[in-house]
Amino acid sequence: MATQAMSEKLQQDIDIQFEGKSAKLPLHRGTEGEVGIDIAKLRSSTGLVTFDPGYGNTGACKSAITYIDGDNGILRYRGYPIEELAEKSSFLEVAWLLLNGELPTKTELSSFSAEIKQHTMLHEDFKRFFGALPKDAHPMPVCAATVGALATYYQDPESERQIHSSVIRLLAKMPTIAACSYKHCIGQPFMYPRNELDYTSNFVNMLFATPCEDYPIDPVAARAIDLLLILHADHEQNCSTSTVRLVGSSQAPLFASISAGISALWGSLHGGANQKVIEMLEHIAREDGSVDKYVARAKDKNDTARLMGFGHRIYKNYDPRAAVLKKTCAEVISRLGKSSKLLEIAMRLEEIALKDEYFVSRKLYPNVDFYSGVIFNALGIPTNMFTVLFTMGRLPGWIAHWLEMRRDPDFRIGRPRQIYTGANKRPYVSIDRRG
Ligand code: SDX
């Protein structure tokens, strides 16, 4: 069972005085030393609310799942450095770690894998569901809709046992849903899951195989995708995870909460950035490879272009996931014997940006999306599927946060405040007296 978030309440408080009212606000220190002001009593004591658009300074919860130190480029899942998990672990093992708080024993991992294999198929009626969707639909809303529709097939009230079944069904069916969302848009028949294959190889087979012949799975490709899933598995309170928590806080079922998370991840400023990175690199390649021109556009306030895959709300240093991916990129591309043109453009972009005052002064570094798209592209993953693979990777993280929130003894529905800037009280004017 996952360990509950541990924190200590500090001896000292923060005093706030305002218009004759005051509050002593307690301080909590996390296990890595970061301190948060507990403002639970702020409004009732002083009438004040906080104002923090984008929640850049606001801790929404205590969590024991993932730790990020953005200034030093540190990322750990349940205390284990991402670099070690990337090198030594597997995606299913990382999923177990995120969900249960500890690395699994051999027996735990093999029964987890066996249980997942029993639930990889979708109800046959989903063929009609996919058939009703336009062929040119982006796979992300297809995945969000399909995950939401799982709640129509599994309608039992959410007991702990039922929640466990929903967790297994989500992890088991996500690769099948992802592959079907792609097969649907290219008009190829859906491939059934194959239980003799491991989790990631099964996905590769469903994505690329056809019923006409066996599909030889390239172990280099399967391992690269498994690594990408590990690197995307969790990232504390990012936009889509916060969405899953907020939706789940109303007691909405797990499938509905995850469906909302998929929709949030689709945004181009979030998970959708990996697709935009490739489109940016391909644009530069078509243009004449002029990286300098694109960097100038990204700096120009009058130009909407951004250096996609660069910058991060938390990392003000190199995203450790990007560092792992940059190293993996070169290995995968050379072992697959693919063209490294997009990688060369990406590395040239990085080289220029990291010396440019605009990016240096704003602490903009490559993030996870900068190199992941280059690997996906080299693996032959269709561009509009990049964010779907991000979804597959992030799924165990979303579920772990949803479970942690639901099991928190201080759990309550999320309902932020606001500062009202609208009209003051005014009387109704009948339509024949309006201008
Ligand atoms: C992910 O939160 C997570 O953990 C997310 C994620 C995860 O694993 O869940 O890590 C995954 O979403 C990674 C981020 C992917 N998005 C992109 O690569 C899109 C490009 N990056 C940006 O749009 C931006 O950097 C964000 C959205 C990532 C962060 O936005 P912030 O923190 O709100 O920063 P900002 O937009 O206020 O930017 C600060 C300044 C601004 O300039 P000034 O107003 O100070 O002059 O930096 C500039 C921005 O214009 N800027 C960029 C830029 N990113 C920020 N300028 C050019 N190119 C960029 N990429």
- For the stretch 27-80, pLDDT in tens is 999 999 999 999 999 999 999 999 999 999 999 999 999 999 999 999 999 999
pLDDT greater than 80 at residue 182: yes
Cα 313 to ligand 1 centroid, rounded to whole Å: 6
**CB of 294 within 8 A of CB of 358?**
no
Which one-letter DSSP state was computed for residue 371?
H
Mean pLDDT along residues 387-413: 96
Q: Is the CB of 270 under 6 A from ligand 1?
A: yes
pLDDT at 210 over 80: yes
For residue 407, the one-letter residue type is R
Sheet holding 8-18, edge to edge: 8-18, 21-29, 35-37
Cβ atoms of 271 and 391 within 8 Å: the answer is yes
Ligand 1 atom at shortest distance from the alpha carbon of 236:
4
- Provide the Cα torsion 127, 128, 129, 134; round to 10°: 100
Q: What spacing in Å lies between the alpha carbon of 367 and ligand 1's midpoint?
A: 9
Query: Model pTM?
Result: 0.95
Q: Looking at this protein, which amino acid is placed at residue 280?
A: M
Q: What is the mean pLDDT of residues 285-289?
A: 84
Mean pLDDT of 239-256: 97
pLDDT of res. 5: 53
CA of 145 to the centre of ligand 1 (A): 28
Q: What is the pLDDT of residue 432?
A: 97
Q: pLDDT at position 60, please?
A: 95
**b/e per residue 110-136 (b: at least 16 CB within 10 A):** eebbeebbebbebeeebeebbeeeeee
Place of tokens 């997942």: 116
pLDDT for 398:
98
Confidence class of residue 288 from pLDDT cuts 50, 70 and 90? confident
Residue nearest to atom 27 of ligand 1 (CA): 269
Percent of the chain at pLDDT exceeding 90: 90
State whether the beta carbon of 378 lies less than 6 angstroms from ligand 1: no
Say yes or no: CB of residue 220 within 6 Å of ligand 1.
no
369 flagged as catalytic: yes
Distances (CA, A) of 38 to 10, 33, 57, 61: 11, 15, 13, 11
> Cα–Cα distance between 311 and 269 in angstroms, integer?
10
- Tell me if 399 sits within 8 A of 349, measured CB to CB: no
DSSP 175-206: HHHHHHHHHHHHTPPPPPP-TTS-HHHHHHHH
Q: Which residues pair with 51 in a beta bridge?
A: none
Nearest Cα residue to atom 15 of ligand 1: 270
* pLDDT the model gives residue 119: 97
Q: Whose CA is nearest to atom 23 of ligand 1?
A: 269
pLDDT tens-place string over residues 342-354: 999 999 999 999 9
Establish whether residue 238 lines the binding site of ligand 1, counting it when its CB lies within 6 angstroms of any ligand atom.
Answer: yes
- Asked about 312 being catalytic, the answer comes back as yes
Q: Which of 235, 319, 369, 401 is catalytic?
A: 369
Q: Is the CB of 359 under 6 A from ligand 1?
A: no
CA distance 275 to 373: 6
Residue 311 Cβ contacting ligand 1 at under 6 Å = yes
Banded pLDDT at 290 (limits 50, 70, 90) = confident
Q: Whose CA is nearest to atom 16 of ligand 1?
A: 269
381 burial type by CB count under 10 A (0-12 exposed, 13-18 middle, 19+ buried): buried
* Residue 4 scores a pLDDT above 80: no
Q: What is the pLDDT of residues 259-278, one digit of tens each?
A: 999 999 999 999 999 999 99
Closest ligand 1 atom to Cα of 56: 32
Q: Is the CB of 372 under 6 A from ligand 1?
A: no
CA of 232 to the centre of ligand 1 (A): 17
pLDDT for 395 equals 98
DSSP structure string for 18-42: ETTEEEEEEEEE-TTS-EEE--TTH
pLDDT in tens, 366-386: 999 999 999 999 999 999 999
Catalytic residue among 235, 312, 319, 401: 312
Structure tokens at 93: 């093992």
What's the rounded Cα separation, in Å, for the pair 312 and 6? Answer: 27
The pLDDT-based confidence of 158 (bands split at 50, 70, 90) is: confident
Ligand 1 midpoint to CA 238 (Å): 12
The residue whose C-alpha atom lies closest to atom 47 belonging to ligand 1 is 362
Indicate which residue's Cα is closest to atom 48 of ligand 1. Answer: 362
The predicted pLDDT at position 1 comes to 45
pLDDT of 2 over the 70 cut: no
Strand partners, 275: none
Q: Which residue, by CA, sits nearest to atom 21 of ligand 1?
A: 311
Question: Which amino acid type is present at position 276?
Answer: K
Residue 408 pLDDT class (50, 70, 90 cuts): very high
Tokens 């560092």 -> residue:
323
| pLDDT value, residue 202 | 98
Residue 234 in contact with ligand 1 by CB distance below 6 A:
no
For the chain, what is the mean pLDDT?
94
